[in-house]
Amino acid sequence: MNIASSFLDWFVGGQNSSHAPGEVFYWFSQITLAFVASVAAFFAFNQVKAFKQFELLKYLEQQHIVEARRTVWNEIIDKVPHDHWWRENKDLERQASLVCASFNTVAGILHSDWLPFLSRFFAKHWAVTIVAQYEGLRPLIEERQRKNGHTYMGEFEWLYKRAKPHAVHYLKARQLLTERTGRETLAP
């Protein structure tokens, strides 16, 4: 008797089998169901991850937040204004506050999330933006931390620390430009 006929005899509960055909079919269906449920759970989990990532990207790409980041980049990062610029230019201060708040909100969601891949995604793919915006706004953040406590914008700082290793090329270009021009700059 070959292996195939032995298996078939066991599966259908033939005379050499100690299991009834219904029992064998029951266990086979349970194993198949567990496998199908595991595959479905895997795809559902990936769908949840993609949905959360999309929603966070959609939040960061809202027109008013994009405009605020652009203003911070053009007016603060590129120009490196004097200390306490936010006291003299309330519109620029509002835009800077919006950038801080938006990154703090996203970082808060990422930091408390049980899906660590999301924080890795943002730290890696948004590294230059996060690092440049944080470093450009650092004087404002530090002053507000002195007034409001060290946890002010703490989530943004957490995201900055996670993103900084991924922005090495930006940091090197900035350092080289500073050395060549003799003037500190935040823009690459």
Domain positions in the chain are: 3-39, 61-181
Sign of the Cα pseudo-torsion (76, 81, 83, 84, in order): negative
pTM for the model stands at: 0.72
Average pLDDT (144-148) is 92
For the ranges 3-12, 19-28, 55-64, 72-81, the lowest mean pLDDT is seen at: 3-12
Is the pLDDT reported for residue 157 higher than 60? yes
Which pLDDT belongs to residue 2? 65
SS3 assignment, position 33: helix
Residue type, 161: K
